[in-house]
């Protein structure tokens, strides 16, 4: 069986924790942040777990990261 290719876009966007959870960053992080409140800007810094509905699809894109 041939080796599977890792999806490079998914590799940069998702991280797997030590316990195996898939984490993602929030959208709207890169620009237009000057007008947002400091509390809202801090919320962009943390990563959040992905939806359980998307998990199977994203794990298929990252075959060797699991």
Residue range 45-65, pLDDT digits in tens: 899 999 999 999 999 999 988
* Structure-token match 């359980």, residue found: 52
> The pTM is what?
0.77
- Separation of alpha carbons 13 and 62, rounded Å: 11
For 32-38, the CB contacts below 8 A with 24+ separation are: none
- Separation of alpha carbons 48 and 61, rounded Å: 19
Residue range 3-57, pLDDT digits in tens: 999 999 999 999 999 999 999 998 888 888 889 999 988 888 899 999 999 999 9
Q: What integer pLDDT is reported at residue 65 of this predicted model?
A: 81
């Amino acid at each position: 069986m041939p080796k599977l290719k890792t999806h490079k876009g998914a590799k940069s966007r998702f991280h797997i924790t030590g316990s195996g959870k898939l984490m993602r960053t929030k959208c709207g992080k890169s620009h237009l942040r000057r007008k947002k409140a400091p509390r809202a800007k801090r919320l962009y810094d943390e990563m959040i777990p992905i939806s359980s509905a998307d998990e199977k699809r994203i794990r298929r894109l990252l075959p060797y990261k699991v």
